[in-house]
Structure 1
Amino acid sequence: MPAYHSAYNEDTDSRVIGSMSLLPFRSKIRGPAGTPVDPNAMDIIDESIDLFRANSLFRNFEIKGPADRTLIYLILFISDCLTKIASSRSPLLLPEATKQLSTLAVDSFALPGDAGFPLNALYAAPRDRSEADALRGYLTQARQELVGRLIERVYNSGGGGAGVGQTPSKWWLAFTKRRFMGKSLS
């Protein structure tokens, strides 16, 4: 059974930096990401959250385009977020998880080409400083938006979407033991 790939691999309109597509997504956070043509359609953030659990089961992933590289990065960030939630003796409650993950989203992080980036073999480095700054801004905005949407999913009480619970779902935290491609961003 093959892994699931991004539906945006055929998108030729988005900018590519460091072999990653800078795809538009709906966001409440200011940043360089464009707004999608159809605001009701699934964007790369929704796609990465939806494909996370299925793709976490795979150790190998064939990259079919620049959108897959963006998807890989976001899936690895989701894995880091879930590890952060489950890292304490008892999983973090909603307010503390929101605070911890919001801090994680804006903390400094390595870009492709940096010594600390775990996937340098799969990603090209940005050509110059301006591209690196643009990629960092895009990924920071994507990480912040992803944290907001992930918290809604992980802390959903399961009552038919009726609200947000105070404790994380055990069905999401079960994936902290799995490493997509055997990698981690941290």
Structure 2
Amino acid sequence: MPAYNSVFNTAEPAPRLIGNFPLFPLRTKVRGPVYALPFPDPPLAAHESPDPSSESYDVLDEVLALFRANTFFRNFEIHGPADRLLVYGIWFVSDCLAKIRPGASLREATKDVMNLALDLNFAIPGDPAWPLNQMYEPPRDRQEAEVLRQYMSQVRQELATRLLARVYDEGDAKPSKWWLSFTKRKFMGKGL
């Protein structure tokens, strides 16, 4: 059985690409280089995603929806630019889950995960520390690299916020064991 690929691979209009990493619009309040999608009306609970046919559904909703299923795969065939963002999102979610201790309160987990998300010293495609440089093209110049770093920072912050809402959807006392059971899994045998 193959891994699940992104439905945004065939999105119209096509997203802006830096190298071959896509810059999709996001449903977020975090500032960044892409425009924000509208929030659903009526508003949803923080741990819920809009319906995939909604204009509010974005690629980060898909990352969280496919994370647990795709984590089991050691091979992943990239069918389009959205799959590159899906791979990066799954790696980042894995790193976030590794920061959450089983007995941690929401406040403690938020501190640890947001420190990871806000850290600006992370690798981008083309850097020697990037896990799959053979599948990702580097930015053409320093300006494109800075835009990509800003976008990836925006993705990291929004993913961290949404993940915490799902992991602590039953209250802030302890994290969901159904999410933490994936802390030791490595998607494609790699991590950030």
TM-score normalised by structure 2 residue count: 0.87
- The equivalent residue for 2:165 is 152
> Equivalences for 1:112-127 in 2 at 5 Å?
112-127=125-140
Query: Deviation at 1:178?
Result: 1.1
Corresponding residue to 2:113 among 62, 85, 101: 101
SS of 1:92's equivalent?
coil
Alpha-carbon contact 2:28-2:37 (below 8 Å) kept: no
Please give the per-residue CA displacement for 1:132-169, whole angstroms capped at 9, x wherever unaligned. 00100000011001111000001111xxxxxx332110
The range that moved more, 128-137 or 26-35, is: 26-35
Query: Deviation at 1:14?
Result: 1.1
Separation (CA, whole Å) in 2 of partners of 1:72 and 1:91: 28
TM-score normalised by structure 1 residue count: 0.90
Separation (CA, whole Å) in 1 of partners of 2:187 and 2:169: 23
Unaligned 5+ residue runs, structure 1?
Answer: 158-163
Query: Deviation at 1:97?
Result: 0.8
Are the structure 2 counterparts of residues 110 and 48 from structure 1 closer, same or farther at C-alpha, using a change threshold of 3 Å?
same
- The equivalent residue for 1:23 is 24
Please give the per-residue CA displacement for 1:25-77, whole angstroms capped at 9, x wherever unaligned. 11011111222378553211111001000000100000000110011001100
Identity %: 55
SS of 1:123's equivalent?
coil
- The equivalent residue for 2:4 is 4
> Equivalences for 1:36-47 in 2 at 5 Å?
36=37, 40=54, 41-47=56-62
SS of 2:99's equivalent?
helix
Separation (CA, whole Å) in 2 of partners of 1:16 and 1:38: 24
SS of 1:176's equivalent?
coil
Corresponding residue to 1:60 among 41, 53, 75: 75
SS of 2:17's equivalent?
strand
Separation (CA, whole Å) in 2 of partners of 1:84 and 1:167: 14
Please give the per-residue CA displacement for 1:59-118, whole angstroms capped at 9, x wherever unaligned. 0000000110011001100000001113xxx44221011111111012110111111111
- The equivalent residue for 1:75 is 90
Residue type of the alignment partner of 2:76: F
Separation (CA, whole Å) in 2 of partners of 1:115 and 1:140: 19
Q: CA RMSD in A?
A: 1.5
Separation (CA, whole Å) in 2 of partners of 1:13 and 1:121: 23
Are the structure 2 counterparts of residues 59 and 136 from structure 1 closer, same or farther at C-alpha, using a change threshold of 3 Å?
same
